[in-house]
Chains A and B, each alone.
Chain A
Amino acid sequence: MYAAACRTVHRDSRLTATRCPYPAPVRLWTRALLIAALTGIALVGAAFPPHGWPATVVVLVPATVVLVLAARRPPDQARPSPAIRRGVLVWSLLAAAGLAWEAYAFVRQPDWSRASHADPTLSTLLDPVLEHGPLRVVGWLVWLWAGWRLISR
């Protein structure tokens, strides 16, 4: 709600971005440019096979940009609403359940340094999907989009 109010004020140009913790809304052409850039990075990243340094470099480049932008954003002092507090509880519980199950699968592996077919972790299950093909591009796009969301809200 605070973000929405802030965005409205931005649109009216009565409050500058320096006074509002949220950035001004992304314009259409900026959004198109951003989508093109993210798609380009995803295609380049997907072109490189996993388990190699070129793919690692393509991960590091956007990660560094996002890290710099995240560090430059001013902190937000907004108070959490009851919905936010419930959200923190519910989403934390779900994250904990997912992590606990991942840990369960991981410790059941006979050799912790080697993926097990019998006791697969999430990465073992996703590896064949994200190894090559269109789904690897989708994986890259989802990851890049998540990074953009981290700094654009």
Chain B
Amino acid sequence: MTDRTIIIIGFCVVLAAVIVAAIYSHLHRERLATLAETVAHLTRTRTARIVAVLIWAWLGWHFLAR
């Protein structure tokens, strides 16, 4: 197994865990908040919201324009 395959499998495992958590949180909102609800909670202060927007802007530049 090459390094490339191992790295891709690692990303797939994380992605699969995110999908499972997303499905579970949408089915059991009373037990686990969805990603959107969690982000909304984490960005409830102005500073946190601005930091989140800056991270989002950087991701856009990094993946779409860089």
Contact = CB atoms under 8 A, between A and B. Distances in A.
Interface stretch (A9-17, A25-33, A82-90): A82-90
Interface residues of B, number: 45
B41 A84 contact: yes
Contacts of B21: 90-91, 94
Contacts of A73: 46, 49
A48 B64 CA distance: 10
Contacts, number: 154
A146 interface: yes
- Chain A interface, DSSP helix/strand/loop, else mixed: helix
23 contacts: A52-B65, A63-B57, A71-B46, A71-B49, A74-B46, A76-B45, A84-B33, A84-B37, A87-B32, A88-B38, A90-B21, A91-B38, A101-B7, A104-B7, A105-B7, A123-B63, A126-B63, A143-B60, A149-B39, A150-B43, A150-B49, A151-B49, A153-B40
Return the 9 tightest CB-CB contacts between A and B, nearest first. Answer: A87-B33, A63-B57, A55-B65, A87-B38, A76-B44, A153-B40, A56-B65, A70-B49, A143-B60
Interface of B: 2-4, 7-8, 10-11, 14, 17-18, 21, 25, 29-46, 49-50, 52-54, 56-57, 59-66
